[in-house]
Structures are given as C-alpha cells and as structure tokens.
Amino acid sequence: MEFIDLKAQQEQILPNGRKLKEVISDNIQNVLDHGRYILGPEVEELELILKNFTGAKYCIATASGTDALLIALMALNISNGDEVITTPFSFISTSEVIELLGAKPVFVDIDPNTYNINPNKIEEVISTKTKAILPVSLYGQPANFIEINLLAKKYNLPVIEDAAQSFGSTHNGKFSCTLSTIGTTSFFPSKPFGCYGDGGACFTNNNDLAAKIRKISRHGQEERYIHSDLGINGRIDTLQAAILLAKFPLFKQEIISRQNSAEIYNKKLKKIGINSIPTISQLNTSVYAQYTIQVDNRKEIQSHLKKLGIPTAVHYPTILPDQPALGGPQVHCKFTEATRASKRVLSLPMHPYLSQDNQEFIVNSISKII
Ligand SMILES: *Cc1c(COP(=O)(O)O)cnc(C)c1O
C-alpha cells in the first residue's frame, strides 16, 4: 500500500476518453518538439486555467511552493528587522522564507481543532515591526481568513496564505489562494494538485503586486538583460506546466474522491472509538492533503501498521520554533496546542484512488492496537 499512490492516477481515463499516462507523454513530447523549455506556451496556458479555476485575477506559476512564498514576501518588501506573524505548526518553508529575508517569524499558537493559526491570539503579538501575516491552510482546509482579514484590515497589514496543502479547497464560498492579499501554492508531487518535480504558484487580485511577483520570479527583469529589481530564478519549468495541464481535467473529481475517502475514514474510525478525526470548519471545505488523527501511543501504532505494510506519516513531529535552523528548542510555554499536536498527530494513507478495502484494513489494524 502506498501512502500517496501517484501511479494509480496515471491509469485514469480523462473526460476525453484518453488515459492520463498517454496525454502526459504527448504533452511532454510537444514540449520536446517546440523546445521552449523556459516559459513556453504551456506556462501561460496553465496560469490561465488556474486563474479561472480559483477565480483569482492573476496567477503567476513559480518554480516551487517555497519560491512562491519567498517571491510573495519579496513583493511585499519584507526585509531585515521586519516581523511576520505565522504559525508554529507547518512545514519548514513557511518560516524559512521569512528568515531568508532577514525578517523574524513571530509565532502564534494554533486552534487545536483545525490545526491552523488561532486568530484570537494574533492581535496580542502585533507590533510596530509587524509587516505581514502568513497563515497556513494546513492539511487541506483554509485558516480562518474571515477573522484574520478583519485584523489585517484594522492594522493595515497584508496577508499571505500558504495554500501549499489546500489548493482546491474553499472558505466561505471562495477558493483557497484567493482569500487574502496573496495566496501561494505548491505542485510538489504529493500535494493535492501535483506535478512530477517542483512547481508552485502565486495568486493575487492586485494589479501592481501581480506585476511585481512576475518580475521577481524572473530575476527582476524589466526587458531582456535590464534588471530593475533584484529577483530570483523562480519560474515553473515548461515541462512541469505541461504535466499539470494533462492532470487538470481529473482534479475536481479527485477532490470529491478525497472527500469521500475522508467520510469513510470518519465513520469507520468513530466506530472503533477514535474521535480525533479531522474537524472541518463550517466555513470550509477540505481537499484533505492529509487525513490526520490524534493518538496517544503514536510510535507503537506506527510500527504496528508498518509491519502490516501500512505506511503512515507525522506532519509535523517538531514545531517550527524548536527547529535548530530557527533557533532550536527554546524555553517557551506559548505554543502548547502546537506542541501537543506535534506529539500526537498521525496521518493515514490518503489519495484519490484509495480503495474502501484498504481503508477497512487500515482501520481494523488500528483497532487491534489501540
Ligand atoms: C509543501 C509545502 C510547502 C513547500 O512547497 P514546495 O513546493 O515543496 O517548495 C510550503 N508550505 C507548506 C505548508 C507545504 O506543505
């Protein structure tokens, strides 16, 4: 059994009656034929499709989700000495990009139900140095942007959504990536919408920011060899764009399929007495980038499942403020919810092609150890 089965997807039949695998091959061959490996026509086509899908005014495809975050912060002029409010419970990228720009991540504990930043605790850390708020929409559901945006408006702060795990989900009827000043996502292979390498995108409705993001992702280039700003090499590869274009027609159905699998897990797990199933806010839909529960004896359960051939994962065993690269374990008692979650969360296999039989087997196997 795979934790995320990427091969099963290749066998799927697209709405046009063709196998995904074949369309991917054709799309790759097309790129080899036209030879425009950097910013070929597939990149523009992808940006158009993603823009229309989310309803964002602008989409700029990037080399990765991390680059999308970095570029977003650069476009907002985040630099030395600035503070960016963010969550302690995420993948390293979220804080890494803040530190890389010489700014400081200021962490706010999570809501233990959704695992996303707790909006009620943001105001107390806003200072004169605060330049942005960077919430993550973890495991596939958006953070509480209604609340976060109210605060941001009060203090005139831009908000960046790290939507690496939530592309395709919704909050209050709007798509993730369009919920704040800038939304960023990732097309890392195991994300809900993944390519076969690295890729990502920035979304915004702001004209000036869109132009800035585009420029920064291309070495700050105004016209050929005229660089009016410092930028990075942050473009998506044409080949990755071509692969995403092939996969896109499956995406909506895949979201539904993930949601169905989540419902099945919910029911089966409740039956065996596990109540720590994912809590999805009434305002949200989730794309279940992860299906994550909480358990007391995580190590034991993981090794028991591993012996039976069931892969599991922990997202994330260490909170960001405790990462050596970000300062290391500090004496703090401020992130109790994130710390507690980091010790208890367990992600089960989740992908659009997970069979009910496998789910049955996974839950039965868990029931035998708890
Ligand atoms: C995957 C991920 C990223 C980074 O995306 P890459 O495309 O791997 O650079 C950033 N933030 C979160 C929350 C992620 O899950």
* Minimum CA distance residue for ligand 1 atom 2: 164
Q: Is the CB of 70 under 6 A from ligand 1?
A: no
Ligand 1 centroid vs 118 CA: distance in angstroms?
A: 20
Q: How far is the CA of 92 from the centre of ligand 1 (A)?
A: 8
Q: Is the Cβ atom of 198 under 6 angstroms away from ligand 1?
A: yes
Is residue 266 exposed (0-12), middle (13-18) or buried (19+ Cβ within 10 Å)?
Answer: middle
201 burial level (CB within 10 Å; 0-12, 13-18, 19+)? buried
Element (DSSP H or E) covering residue 294: strand 291-294
Ligand 1 centroid – CA 51 distance (Å): 20
What whole-number distance in Å separates Cα of residue 50 and Cα of residue 68? 15
Fold of 251-369: Aspartate Aminotransferase, domain 1 (3.90.1150)
Work out whether the CA dihedral 291, 297, 303, 305 comes out positive or negative: negative
Q: Please give the number of the atom of ligand 1 that sits closest to the Cα of 137.
A: 13
Segments in the chain below pLDDT 50: none
pLDDT digits (tens, 9 = 90+) for 78-88: 999 999 999 99
Q: Determine the distance separating the centroid of ligand 1 and the alpha carbon of 93, expressed in angstroms.
A: 6
* pTM for the whole structure: 0.97
Indicate if ligand 1 lies below 6 Å from the C-beta of 93. Answer: yes
CA distance linking residue 108 with residue 89, whole number of Å: 9
Strands laid side by side in the 200-204 sheet: 58-62, 200-204, 182-186, 160-162
Domain with CATH 3.40.640.10 in the chain: 6-107+115-244
290 lines ligand 1 (CB under 6 A): no
Location of each CATH 3.90.1150.10 domain in the chain:
251-369
Topology adopted by domain 6-107+115-244? Aspartate Aminotransferase; domain 2 (3.40.640)
**Residue spans of beta strands (DSSP E) within 71-181:** 83-86, 104-107, 130-134, 160-162, 170-171, 174-175
Stated as kind and residue range, the H or E segment containing 183 is strand 182-186
Per-residue model confidence as pLDDT tens digits over 128-178: 999 999 999 999 999 999 999 999 999 999 999 999 999 999 999 999 999
Atom of ligand 1 nearest to the CA of 90: 13
Q: Hey, whose CA ends up nearest to atom 5 of ligand 1? A: 65
Q: Is 90 in the pocket of ligand 1 (CB under 6 A)?
A: yes
What is the predicted pLDDT for the residue at 288? Answer: 98
Ligand 1 pocket check for 139: Cβ under 6 Å: no
Find tokens 């476009």 and name the residue: 75
- CB neighbour burial string for 267-277, b if at least 16 within 10 angstroms, e if fewer: ebbeeeebeeb
